[in-house]
Amino acid sequence: MVLLRSLNPLAVARGDDLDAAVTIGDTVLSRSAILGAATSVAERVAQADRVAVLATPTAKTILAVVGALIAGVTVVPVPPDSGKAEREHILRDSGAQAWLGETDDHCDTLPVVPVRLHARSWHSYPEPAPQSTAFVLYTSGTTGPPKGVLLSRSAIAAGIDALAEAWDWTWRDTLVHGLPLFHVHGLILGILGPLRIGSRVIHTVKPTPENYARAKGSLYFGVPTVWSRIAEDEEAARALSGARLLVSGSAPLPVPVFEKLRDRTGLTPIERYGMSETMLTLSTRFDGERRPGWVGVPLRGVETRLRDEKGNDVPHDGESIGGLQVRGPMLFDGYLNRPDATAESWTEDGYFKTGDVAVIDEGGFHRIVGRESIDLIKTGGFRVGAGEIETAILGHPSVSEVAVIGVPDADLGQRIIAVVVRKPGSPEVAEAELVELVGGELSAHKRPREVRFAETLPRNAMGKVQKRELF
């Protein structure tokens, strides 16, 4: 099992070396250039166990990651915007022995191994064991410092191959995205995916509508914030009409954005679901139904189920909410240095407890309601998903963004509150109007008890709303 299949020297020798295998900003790399430069990196780090990479959107970041993988060295991607305390925790917890590639003024705690774009080596390294750890990805939970997620080479290969089947992703595609290179979406799927499948990739550095329109790809990755901006830019949206697939993930795609994107590009977006611990496990398919607000069916090799608080099965009726559990070959091997958290996350029969709540319909289609810890609201004896209320409110023409939370209430247990951002230049909307909108589309007990208006919603680098900052 060769993880970076399209960099295999035999593939290059057969003439499969594309002139522009990877384009990132103004830098263009062929497959032979990547292989030669990355192997030069491998020679410098081959004796290390783990190296940290400051994951800026540059060619040197890509070569650093690929070089370490060639040598069988575990990569610890570090977000460039991480604060001092977070960065120190990642380095200390991971046991990284050096910085590999570009650094900044705050990266003075470890030796630095340079990455040179034009260096070349053709030394041959044996393929590391499939079960060896390729990455330690740090993911923030609801409490405590970020945990290191251990992802093996075999899990990454299985995840990419399952997506290739679901999306009909082949070497003929040109993938375009401008996502950060320190997580599953942008780095593993967005860079290693093309290097395994053999397709071209254009990283736009910044995911602006203009950059996406200019790239002329066949397959596009974006988070909802990116797609919202593209949908509002009619010229950019129409420029994407020649693509094959538009893929949205990392957060729910609002239904109005889904519909406007479809109307202006002529393409119905693909939505999918995953997390650092699981890679991607659910997606709508290239040849299947694409339903706004739903993330599709299990990928090849994936099994899912819903459980209530007592561990009982939740019916697949499209309405009943339960905790989502998954198992499959692309799941992680546990949390680094956290056997307690690892044990708590798995069931005895091998399912990972995602911490998300969802519904599944009779046909196996999944809709993610949100995080069990914050998006499952228990009010007046009812279990309510924040996501369905948000979807209803986003249907109002004056609403740009919304986050629904449940706050403690002496009478109800939790009181539903909606935090709303108005669209610039749109007519003002009254609180009562939004409450009535929800009551007309959903059950009466799902109506917000309060609507607050805000200029913006707090988001992280992936575009996910940070609801805990709203309490």
**pLDDT value at residue 141:** 58
**Rounded average pLDDT over 292-309:** 95
Question: In the predicted model, is pLDDT for residue 91 greater than 90?
Answer: yes
pLDDT at 143 over 60: no
| Lowest mean per-residue pLDDT among 224-238, 252-266, 373-387, 449-463 | 373-387
Cβ–Cβ under 8 Å, residues 453 and 422: yes
Residue 158, amino acid: A
Averaged over 374-401, what is the pLDDT? 83
Which residues of the chain are in CATH 3.30.300.30 domains? Answer: 376-470
pLDDT of residue 16: 54
Each residue's pLDDT tens digit, 344-363: 999 999 999 999 999 999 99
Indicate the pLDDT class of residue 15, thresholds 50, 70 and 90.
very low
Q: Phi first, then psi: what are they for 215, rounded to 5°?
A: -75, -30
User: For 40-57, what is the mean pLDDT?
Assistant: 96
Region of 364 (left: φ > 0; alpha: ψ -120 to 50; beta: rest) is: left
In the predicted structure, residue 9 carries a pLDDT above the cut 80: no
What per-residue confidence (pLDDT) applies to 14? 45
User: What is the location of CATH 3.40.50.12780 in the chain?
Assistant: 5-191
Calpha distance 340→203 (Å, rounded): 38
Instruction: Indicate the pairing of strand 376-379 with strand 382-385.
Output: antiparallel
Q: Taking Cα atoms as reference points, which of 439, 463, 314, 323 lies closest to residue 389?
A: 439
DSSP 219-278: EEEE-HHHHHHHHH-HHHHHHGGG-SEEEE-SSPPPHHHHHHHHHHHS-PPEEEEEETTT
Q: Is the pLDDT of residue 464 over 80?
A: no
Determine the residue type at 135: F
Banded model confidence at residue 18, pLDDT cuts 50, 70, 90: low
| Residue 297's pLDDT band (cuts 50, 70, 90) | very high
Beta-bridged to residue 305, according to DSSP, are: 325
pLDDT beyond 80 at 154:
yes
- 3-state SS assignment for residue 352: strand
Q: What pLDDT, on the 0 to 100 scale, is given for residue 344?
A: 94
Residue type, 164: A
For residue 338, pLDDT over 90 is answered with: yes
Cβ–Cβ under 8 Å, residues 190 and 37: no
Q: Say which residue the tokens 């995205």 belong to.
A: 177
pLDDT digits (tens, 9 = 90+) for 313-327: 999 999 888 999 999
**Given pLDDT bands bounded at 50, 70 and 90, which one contains residue 1?**
low
pLDDT tens, residue by residue, 394-416: 889 899 989 999 888 877 888 99
Average pLDDT, the chain: 91
Mean pLDDT of 260-273: 96
**Alpha helix (H) ranges present in 325-372?**
339-345
Q: What is the Cβ-side half-sphere exposure of residue 265, based on CA atoms within 13 angstroms?
A: 32
| Domain range 376-470, CATH architecture | 2-Layer Sandwich (3.30)
Give the model confidence (pLDDT) of 167-187 as tens digits: 999 999 999 999 999 989 999
Topology (CATH) of 5-191:
Rossmann fold (3.40.50)
Residues 34-45 have a mean pLDDT of 96
